[in-house]
């Protein structure tokens, strides 16, 4: 048996229409997995689906939806299950950040980030639980951050939400282990994505400090996270649950 063979499997990926989500989707498709990309921007979503299907015919499907909407979350699950009949892997990747000092944050800023980065992870995982039980297996991969480990003065709600995602991952792993549902997290380091694109311009000193600390000498690109997503989605990780895999070029070790 090929431990990393994902042929016949389907993954639902929130925030899958760009950045790390799209990078993980492309990695999964390379190992035979069909992917359902979820995003709010329909035009961007369509481009990402076409990008994958150009090389891998009919392996990607797009669903427009907002993870902050309970109605959308429910419809995402219903529509996702209708695409190929089953979902084996859920990747909770959608996330946002608001860069302000804590004293300048509005209550709405806090609520928006926490709802997107944390509450939606719980709600979508809970919605998928009955299906995973019905098929006898499931993989959930939650996306953390370096700020799951470190504190931050400029992305306080983001840091709080990503720290909580790791604890949620552990708790769901314990709760659902007997149902053969593995719940793990990936903690990405500093990657070149839309979320970080403004840092070199808005805060060049911080960008330089980050870059100098990465032992590999470079920021990651979305493709660098693909292998970890494949592993945690595959039979090779069936005895791994409740853990977090750091993918950061050595940043957190330096």
Residue spans of beta strands (DSSP E) within the chain: 10-14, 34-39, 60-64, 89-92, 138-143, 181-188, 244-247
158 is catalytic: yes
Among 31, 129, 147, 158, the one annotated catalytic: 158
Residue whose structure tokens are 């499997």: 9
Question: Cα(67)–Cα(246) distance, rounded to whole angstroms?
Answer: 25
Cα–Cα distance list, 100 to 143, 153, 202 (Å): 22, 8, 12
Residues 6+ apart with CB under 8 A from 177: 241, 242
Q: Is 54 exposed, middle or buried (0-12, 13-18, 19+ CB in 10 A)?
A: exposed
Is the CB of residue 145 less than 8 Å from the CB of residue 128?
no
- Number of CB atoms found within 10 A of residue 135's CB: 11
Q: Phi and psi at residue 238, in whole multiples of 5°?
A: -60, -25
Q: Which residues are catalytic?
A: 158
């Amino acid at each position: 048996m090929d431990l990393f063979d994902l042929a016949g499997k389907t993954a639902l990926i929130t925030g899958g229409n760009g950045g790390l989500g799209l990078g993980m989707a492309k990695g999964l498709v390379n190992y035979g997995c069909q992917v359902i990309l979820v995003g709010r921007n329909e035009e961007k979503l369509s481009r990402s689906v076409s990008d994958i299907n150009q090389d891998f015919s009919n392996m990607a499907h797009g669903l427009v939806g907002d993870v902050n909407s309970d109605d959308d979350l429910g419809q995402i699950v219903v529509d996702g299950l209708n695409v190929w009949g089953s979902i084996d892997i859920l990747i909770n990747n959608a996330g946002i950040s608001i860069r302000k000092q804590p004293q300048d944050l509005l209550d709405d800023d806090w609520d928006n980030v926490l709802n997107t980065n944390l509450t939606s992870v719980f709600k979508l995982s809970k919605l998928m639980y009955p299906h995973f039980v019905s098929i006898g297996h499931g993989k959930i991969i939650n996306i953390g951050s370096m700020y799951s480990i470190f504190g931050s003065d400029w992305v306080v709600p983001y840091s709080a939400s990503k720290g909580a995602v790791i604890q949620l991952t552990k708790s769901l792993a314990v709760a659902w282990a007997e149902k053969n549902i593995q719940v793990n997290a990936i903690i990405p380091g500093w990657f070149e994505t839309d979320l970080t694109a403004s840092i070199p311009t808005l805060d060049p000193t911080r960008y330089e400090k980050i870059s100098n600390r990465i032992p590999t000498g470079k920021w990651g690109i979305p493709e660098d996270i693909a292998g970890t997503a494949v592993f945690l989605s595959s039979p090779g990780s069936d005895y791994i649950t409740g853990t977090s895999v750091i993918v950061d070029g050595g940043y957190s070790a330096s």
